[in-house]
Amino acid sequence: MAVFSIQLFPVWVLIFSVYAFWVPCFFVALKSAIVPLLMAVMLGMGMTLRWADFRRVRTHWWAIVLGVSSCYRTS
């Protein structure tokens, strides 16, 4: 059951995102819960990682450097 829910997590996020875009008034009451809900999303994404993903970082370290430098570069 846990594997099934983890595999469907991105689908649920997309469904709720589209619904929130089209019917925003439903989610206005959840405004104060944005940070905890974002934490739940990040936890769900982190639960899908495997040890092989972390090992792959050692071989593709340049991608992380590129991503971080792109995020914090000044124009």
Q: What is the pLDDT of residues 5-21, one digit of tens each?
A: 778 888 988 998 999 99
* pLDDT bracket for residue 22 (50, 70, 90): very high
Q: Smallest Cα–Cα separation from 15: which of 31, 27, 32, 28?
A: 27
Question: Which own/partner contact pairs does 46-55 have at CB distance under 8 Å and 24+ positions apart?
Answer: 47/6, 47/9, 48/6, 48/9
pLDDT at site 75: 60
Determine the average pLDDT of the residues in 30-42. 89
Which residues, other chains included, contact 41 with Cβ-Cβ below 8 Å and sequence gap of 6+? 13
Question: pTM of the predicted model, to two decimals?
Answer: 0.49
How many CB atoms neighbour CB 42 within 10 A?
A: 10
pLDDT at site 74: 67
